[in-house]
Amino acid sequence: MSEARETNIPTVYNPKEVEGKWYRHWENSKYFHAEVEKDKKPFCIVMPPPNVTGQLHMGHALDNTLQDILTRWRRMQGYNALWVPGTDHAGIATQAKVEEQLAKEGLTKYDLGREKFLERVWAWKEQYGNRITTQLRRLGASCDWDRERFTMDEGCSKAVQEVFIRLFEQGLIYRDYYITNWCPHCQTTISDIEVEHQDKPGQLYYIKYPCKDNPDEYITIATTRPETMLGDVAVAVNPEDDRYLHLVGKTLILPIVGREIPVIADAYCDPTFGTGAVKMTPAHDPNDFEIGRRHGLPEVQVIDKLGKMNENAGKYQGLDRWECRKRIVQDLEAMGALVKVEDISHAVGHCYRCNTAIEPMLSKQWFVKMKPLAEPAIEVVKDGRIKFIPERFTKIYLNWMENIRDWCISRQLWWGHRIPVYYCQDCDEMAASTTPVTKCSKCGGKMEQDPDVLDTWFSSALWPFSTLGWPEKTAELEHFYPTSVLVTGRDIIFFWVARMIFSGMYNMHEEPFKEVFIHGLVLDAQGRKMSKSLGNGVDPLEVIDSHGADSLRFMLITGNTPGNDLRFHFERLDGARSFANKLWNASRFVMMNLTDYDPAAQGGPYTLADRWILSRLQGTVADVTDFLERYELGEAARVLYDFIWSEFCDWYIELAKPRLFGKTTPEDRITTQQVLVQVLRKTLELLHPFMPFITEEIWQKLPHQGETIMLAPWPQADESLRDPAAEAEMAVLIEAITAVRRIRGEMNVPPGKKAEVILVAGDAEIRSTLERNITYLQGLANAQARVLAELKDKPDQAATAVTRGVEIFVPLRGLIDIDKEIARLNKDLKAVQADLARVQGKLNNQGFLAKAPAEVVEKEKAKEQDLSAKAKALKDRLAMLT
């Protein structure tokens, strides 16, 4: 074992001086790097790739802290641990960034042309795309940067093309006209799960559609989008709706347009909803599209890709869709076709990127046929080969997969993986190929590649195996796949998790990971989602600057339970920083007392305090390891917090001081030093995955073996050091000492005054424990104590407390000025009772209760409870003295 490098450390812990230094050392020393070691058990995590346009936010901070804890822990356990980092090309977002730059120059992408535009995007990526990976380093992420991947790097791009061709050749990718979600702002389709439905105020318009043969007879339909009626091609009713059966097969006249449209019967129509009759606009509504295909209805598109009315809209051509709505309503009213308008609230789909209202639109797109791919992805979760943590997310996943629709994978962008399909310009020949096709094999004509790119999620769906070298048969793929665990937020189960599972099953014939560890979102203190519009976001980098990365990490973990959202409170952040300072000060105390430390020296026998702290350490090792195995990272952090703050710092160090400074034998001092070093070092190793920087800084200054705490063996519980008897004895002493201290504090006993303490224990074993260890109580409670089996006459004016099998008496005469204390307590009681009366007055005021916000009322109720408790405590103390 090496000697301690120094026995003194700075009085104040400064994260800024420590964190950058150690991260550079770790990265330069290649401690994060993992080669394939077949004699070791593999542990592999692939990082959910953040967008290259992104910067670190609290969601990233939580997600990557969880991954880092698991990776550091498994690395210390001796696993062949690999954490693969990478970034996503983020098709829509990245292209938008570059187009914004061009707009400032008065240019568009069309001015540059596709090739030059893509050069600009790559240049932007090189300049700004590494921002988030730099920020992840500041968080302490111990991922293998030598293996960093990008969804459009050569290897990932090859994997994308390979998968597309396979699916295409097996008939699982097809091209068809279909209703898709079109974003008029981003100018591309987006998938169903990229649509965010927001409740918005709107109107329901009731419109008469007259019969051709009898204009006095009509069907009233109700719609929230009257502008789409210009594309109506039918009205549908339920075949069992008696109100309309006589009209099925008849013809209606479409108001304003004058188009003749049929009345059809379809079971989709709900007779109880609205008027029971539904206008059919197959080109602008997904449900109408499905009905239209069943009935062979024409598809009339009236809104273009900019969200404006097209040539099929007649006199409304060129109007914005919202302006068109106003004009049509006015015209319907003028011609007497508008029956009524109702105000409603309804869910409107919006683009998850730009928040523009989605326009369902008929267009020719590429799709993945999902049913055949979903079946094995459902089975692998049902049979337990993939487990969701918490388990409740299994049901959510299965429900979505069992009702999955085909996936629209084409996007009208230039930045991304271009669809590897080529079309003949002279005939209808089409070819899919990983290499360019210039000549038609059928007619010899010129072939041109599809202009669209693939949905960004198509490439990230391959992440667990493309990052390990697939489609090549690499050593990494053989050793690390399936990966061990996926750590991700609950908000992308459908976006990403499900797609990785079916992609892994299809391409690798094996699950991509064994477990899916789901965490919640980081919300603000009021429980709201952090967003730019609310201005309630908290920048992790600013927190790292002010509090340090370790404090941020520990705050995010403590109180965190799998799958549940976490509220960000600065008070908790301050608490995490206080914990770091507590650990630092305790470590500083230990090292200041190691000037003469000899690890090989022979010490004396263990005291009760030694046996107790060593036993508690073994329990902590076992509990922390068990909680980590169960992904209860918040509980593991809580156990460590309690052990370090209370048991080690507040109790053992205090119990050790007399043996370091007092009149004890050299052997006693040696034993105390050895226990302090052993407990502190192992505690630092347990804490390292959670707070990597401060633990490395302290560990390096302690006597230790090895180069870095990162590679120190994970502590194992030593059963020979488990000592239930010592823990039980110390529990008796700790409770008694705590009770005496509380009495001293409540009764304002001056700290320097020694108190008389009488401990009455009827149980012989408890009494023996108190007698053998009376010096602990006398030292830590500044008391002259005596232990009795019974007490016939209780002392007057004594404060009392009852703990585990012990009745405690502290006579107060001579310790305090009792008359003065009674006066002080009466004064305090009067003030508390006045405050309590004011609060109760508010709560008895019906006007206040009716007008005040609920949170204000709850605050006053909590205040009432607190003041009532204070008043009772003051009365009890007065009763004791009088």
Binding residues: 532
The partner residues of 446 in beta bridges, in order of sequence, read 439
Q: Are 783 and 766 in contact (CB under 8 A)?
A: no
* Amino acid occupying residue 858: E
Task: Confirm if 549 and 557 have CB atoms less than 8 A apart.
Answer: no
Angle at 548 between CA 547 and CA 552, to 5 degrees: 80
Q: CA-CA distances (angstroms) from residue 226 to 206, 207, 708?
A: 9, 9, 69
Strand partners, 807: 760, 802
Q: Measured between alpha carbons, how far is 697 from 568 in angstroms, rounded to an integer? A: 27
Residues tagged in the binding site annotation for ATP: 532
| Amino acid (one-letter) located at 619 | G
Can the peptide bond before residue 215 be classed as cis, meaning omega within 30 degrees of 0?
no
Q: Which residues of 655-676 are buried (b: 16+ CB within 10 A; e: fewer)?
A: bbebbbeeeeeeebbbbbbbbb
Q: Which of 244, 305, 250, 293 is nearest to 270 (CA)?
A: 244
Quickly list DSSP for 633-696: HHHHHHHHHHIIIIIIIIIIHHHHHHHHHSS--HHHHHHHHHHHHHHHHHHHHHHTTTSHHHHH
Angle, alpha carbons 488-408-288 (nearest 5°): 120
d(CA 862, CA 874): 19
- How far is residue 232 CA from its own chain's centroid? 45
Q: Which residues contact 555 (CB under 8 A, 6 or more apart)?
A: 572, 573, 575, 576
Distance between CA atoms of residues 603 and 610, nearest Å: 12
C-alpha to C-alpha distance for 245 and 248, rounded to whole angstroms: 5
Helix axes 540-547, 15-28, angle to 10 degrees: 110
- Output phi, psi for 330, to 5 deg: -60, -45
Radius of gyration of the chain (CA): 36
Cβ-proximal residues to 232 (8 Å cutoff; 6+ apart), any chain: 254, 257, 259, 261, 279, 280, 281, 300
Gap between the Cα atoms of 542 and 554, Å rounded: 16
d(C-alpha 769, C-alpha 775), whole Å: 11
Classify the C-alpha dihedral 586-590-591-593 as positive or negative: positive
Give exposure, 197-210, as e/b (b: 16+ Cβ within 10 Å).
eeeeeeeebbbbbb
Tokens of 736: 């008694």
- DSSP, residue by residue, 293-309: HHHT------B-TTSBB
- For residue 493, the 8-state DSSP code is I
CA nearest neighbour of 549 among 691, 450, 432: 691
Q: Which helix (H) or strand (E) holds 73?
A: helix 58-76
Terminal-to-terminal C-alpha distance of the chain: 62
**Best CA proximity match to 144, nearest among 438, 534, 480:** 480
Residue 777: name the closest of 748, 747, 754, 799 by CA: 754
Question: Which two three-digit tokens encode residue 74?
Answer: 């498994």
Cβ contact 447:440 at 8 Å: yes
Cis peptide bond prior to 471, omega within 30° of 0: yes
